[in-house]
């Protein structure tokens, strides 16, 4: 359950939120898809919209619309317009919510009843006719709900209603986009209704900078496509013409900010739409403002094409008639409508332009009255400044007084009572304050106007960009006109070069030609200089780019080399580490192998020793066994012999004993003999071995002696042979010498 915030002004019973009950005809398949879930959105839940049934909620209970006694007459007129909505076939509370939101939206404009009494219905009074049209009015219904719900939700501080207004805004945008792309286009009045309501949604929401301007241009494009004659002969019950009347002011604001002149300010659109039906006081004020804008646009064009032969008399000729026309329209509107808004005394003047509305601090005008007065005097400020600059003497200089009235209108409205929706105030009062801040002749008034533009409500509105910027509203032209040093002259900054040209009548034609030649030469030199500077900048840019690329390349190469070096170092460290590990492993392996070999050697030695020991033991055992066997055999033999002897010599024991004794003795003797023989053999063997060793030693010594003798003999024989040879040689020499001596004799 979500409570509705209490309305401002009086305590009221607050209705509550509750989901819509599912319709009796809803199928289980729809229930499973979730289409029977109420989303509690206003003024109809999405489920009821999808099922095309009357929505009984989502808020139930009574709700009231508060109306003070001062607003009763306006509410009665509005109620009459709202009752034109045809009652729905089934009970649907969406219609009641639509009436509440739309009534509040219309009331927020605060239009004075007397201004339109007896005239055709305004576009606001025609809005209820677009509700209740079913699918044919879906686009208009969505757009009306978006703006009216945002207006009401903001005033009532109801975030739920505000959130639903954004949903309807998105729906209206989507439907408007589809209708533009569809070959079966929406009726002109439906598309216009959607566009205008989207404009007012953006003046509240400001979803994007200048979003309201885009919708203004879109709505104006729809009207321009239809043509001025179609607007004048409106077949849609007067709604198209009423919207055109309303839209012209918004087009004026957008054009003033852009410094342009819209088609609506040109004769076809100023005449054709009002042939069959005369315009209201607001239409005539916008006509006068468009006339002022034509003056500004024309002067701006003349200044931008200004050369040295153009002087103040040319400006007066071209613009003077336009300034007088704009001043005349403002004067006519002043005499016709100002007494209806706030009566004021006249000061004797044949044209009546001096009429100034004296505002009372106690009974300040309502929002529309203050806005109308502000716009009227803003137009007069511009006309007065243009007339003073161009030498139009028929228009009095009332710019200072007009600026003061604009400031008083803004101040008194801020202190007075505004309608429930104060969001409209910045939209209506900002143009007058902006013009005063740009065009007022007195610096203190311009400063005060700029201070009022910084109002919290203005800064919080989508118009804040216009308030904060110093551009727009032909501000450059205003600066040139207000400059006291250039009074009677018009200057222009041609393009972006910043050069100022000053026309004068004192120059002779020859001087002018010479000056033109000098200017031409200066222009050529300037162009050449600019081209040279651009070329130098381009070369420097190219060199800089090449240098940057080179530096980047060097840095990249250094980085790559560093990375490669780091990788190499890491690789070397890794290889060294691996080699160290392998070396350590090898050393450990070698040590292990050596240890294993040592162990194996030790084991082998132990095994060999063991085997030798075993063999020795086996040999000893074998010998012992053989000896035992021999002994056993001997014993057996002895036993056998004894047995045989016993058997043979049972009778003769003495004989046997004797024989045994003899045998024993013989055996002992034999054993002793054998032992003696073995001992002798052993001794002989030892002696033989000693003898052999001795013989071998003697033979070795003899061999050594023989070898020494032989060597000595060989040496002796060699020495003797050498001596013999020497002797023979000597003898032979002596013999030869003797022979030779003998022969010689």
- Given a contact cutoff of 8 angstroms between Cβ atoms, the answer to whether 149 and 162 are in contact is yes
What average pLDDT score do residues 618-646 get? Answer: 81
pLDDT at position 293: 92
pLDDT of 641 strictly over 60: yes
What is the 3-class SS of 56-89, one letter each residue?
A: CCCEECCCCCCCCHHHHHHHHHHHHHHCCCCCCC
Start-to-end C-alpha separation, the chain:
178
**Running DSSP on this structure, what letter comes out for residue 264?**
G
Average pLDDT of the chain is 74
Segment of 97-106, 282-291, 523-532 carrying the highest mean pLDDT: 282-291
pLDDT of 465 strictly over 80: no
Phi then psi dihedrals of residue 3, to 5 deg: -75, 145
pLDDT of 266 strictly over 60: yes
**Which residue is it, tokens 């400059």?**
483
- Given a contact cutoff of 8 angstroms between Cβ atoms, the answer to whether 131 and 86 are in contact is no
Q: Which of 77, 58, 59 is nearest to 67 (CA)?
A: 77
SS3 state of residue 576: helix
pLDDT at position 6: 38
- pTM surpassing 0.85? no
Q: Which of 463, 448, 468 is nearest to 403 (CA)?
A: 448
What average pLDDT score do residues 385-393 get? Answer: 83
- Judged by average pLDDT, the poorest of 196-200, 545-549, 609-613, 699-703 is 699-703
- Given a contact cutoff of 8 angstroms between Cβ atoms, the answer to whether 405 and 373 are in contact is yes
pLDDT > 70: what percent of the chain?
Answer: 70
pLDDT of 353 strictly over 90: no
What average pLDDT score do residues 39-45 get? Answer: 68
Q: Which of 183, 88, 177 is nearest to 139 (CA)?
A: 177
- Helix, strand, coil in percent for the chain, rounding step 5: 75, 0, 25
pLDDT digits (tens, 9 = 90+) for 410-444: 876 555 444 444 455 556 778 888 899 999 989 99
pLDDT at position 58: 57
pLDDT at position 54: 65
What average pLDDT score do residues 362-387 get? Answer: 75
pLDDT at position 340: 72
Cis preceding-peptide flag for 331 (omega within 30 of 0): no
pLDDT of 139 strictly over 50: yes
Residues forming beta bridges with residue 500, ordered by sequence position: 493
């Amino acid at each position: 359950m979500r409570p509705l915030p209490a309305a401002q002004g009086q305590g009221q019973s607050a209705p509550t939120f509750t989901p819509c009950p599912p319709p009796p005809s809803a199928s289980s398949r729809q229930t499973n898809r979730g289409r029977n879930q109420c989303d509690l959105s206003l003024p109809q839940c999405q489920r009821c919209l999808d099922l095309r049934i009357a929505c009984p909620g989502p808020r139930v209970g009574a709700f009231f619309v508060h109306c003070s006694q001062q607003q009763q007459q306006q509410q009665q007129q509005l109620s009459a317009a709202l009752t034109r909505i045809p009652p729905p076939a089934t009970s649907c509370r969406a219609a009641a919510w639509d009436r509440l939101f739309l009534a509040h939206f219309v009331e927020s404009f605060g239009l004075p009843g007397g201004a339109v009494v007896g005239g055709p219905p305004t576009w606001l009074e025609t809005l209820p006719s677009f509700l209740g049209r079913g699918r044919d009015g879906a686009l208009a219904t969505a757009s009306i709900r978006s703006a009216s719900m945002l207006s009401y939700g903001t005033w009532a501080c109801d975030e739920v209603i505000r959130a639903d207004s954004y949903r309807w805004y998105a729906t209206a945008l989507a439907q408007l986009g589809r209708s533009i792309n569809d070959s079966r286009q929406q009726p002109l009045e439906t598309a216009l209704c959607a566009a205008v309501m989207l404009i007012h949604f953006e003046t509240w929401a400001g979803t994007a900078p200048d979003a309201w301007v885009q919708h203004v241009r879109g709505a104006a494009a729809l009207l321009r496509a239809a043509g001025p004659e179609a607007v004048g002969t409106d077949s849609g019950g007067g709604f198209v013409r009423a919207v055109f009347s309303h839209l012209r002011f918004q087009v004026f604001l957008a054009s003033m900010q852009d410094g342009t002149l819209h088609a609506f300010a040109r004769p076809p659109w100023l005449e054709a739409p009002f042939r069959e039906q005369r315009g209201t006081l607001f239409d005539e004020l916008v006509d006068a403002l468009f006339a002022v804008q034509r003056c500004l646009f024309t002067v701006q064009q003349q200044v931008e094409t200004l050369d040295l032969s153009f002087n103040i008399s040319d400006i007066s000729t071209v613009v003077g008639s336009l300034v007088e026309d704009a001043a005349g329209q403002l004067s006519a509107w002043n005499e016709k409508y100002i007494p209806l808004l706030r009566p004021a005394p006249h000061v004797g003047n044949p044209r009546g332009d001096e009429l100034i509305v004296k505002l009372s601090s106690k009974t300040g005008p309502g929002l529309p009255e203050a806005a109308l007065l502000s716009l009227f005097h803003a137009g007069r400020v511009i006309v007065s400044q243009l007339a003073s600059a161009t030498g139009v003497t028929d228009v009095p200089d009332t710019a200072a007084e007009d600026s003061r009235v604009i400031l008083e209108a803004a101040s008194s409205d801020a202190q007075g009572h505004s309608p429930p929706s104060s969001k409209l105030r910045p939209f209506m009062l900002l143009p007058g304050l902006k013009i005063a801040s740009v065009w007022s002749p007195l610096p203190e008034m311009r400063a005060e106007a700029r201070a009022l533009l910084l109002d919290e409500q203005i800064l919080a509105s989508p118009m804040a960009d216009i308030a904060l910027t110093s551009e727009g509203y032909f501000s450059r032209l205003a600066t040139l006109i207000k400059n006291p040093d250039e009074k009677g002259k018009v200057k222009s900054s041609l393009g972006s070069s910043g050069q100022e040209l000053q026309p004068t009548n004192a120059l002779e034609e020859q001087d002018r030609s010479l000056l033109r030649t000098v200017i031409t030469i200066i222009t050529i030199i300037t162009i050449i200089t600019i081209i040279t500077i651009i070329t130098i900048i381009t070369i420097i840019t190219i060199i800089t780019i090449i240098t940057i690329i080179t530096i980047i390349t060097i840095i990249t190469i250094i980085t790559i080399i560093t990375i490669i070096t780091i990788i190499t170092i890491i690789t070397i460290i890794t290889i060294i580490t691996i080699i160290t590990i392998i070396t350590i492993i090898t050393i450990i392996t070698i040590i292990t192998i050596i240890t294993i070999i040592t162990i194996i050697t030790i084991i082998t030695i132990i095994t060999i020793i063991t085997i030798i020991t075993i063999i020795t033991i086996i040999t000893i055992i074998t010998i012992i066994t053989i000896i035992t066997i021999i002994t056993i055999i001997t014993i057996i033999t002895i036993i056998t012999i004894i047995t045989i002897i016993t058997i043979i010599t049972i009778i003769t024991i003495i004989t046997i004993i004797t024989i045994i004794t003899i045998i024993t003795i013989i055996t002992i003797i034999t054993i002793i003999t054998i032992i003696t023989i073995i001992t002798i053999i052993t001794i002989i063997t030892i002696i033989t071995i000693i003898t052999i060793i001795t013989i071998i030693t003697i033979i070795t010594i003899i061999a050594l002696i023989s070898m020494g003798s032989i060597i000595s003999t060989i040496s002796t024989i060699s020495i003797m042979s050498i001596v013999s040879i020497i002797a023979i040689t000597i003898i032979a020499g002596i013999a030869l010498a003797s022979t030779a001596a003998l022969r010689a004799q």
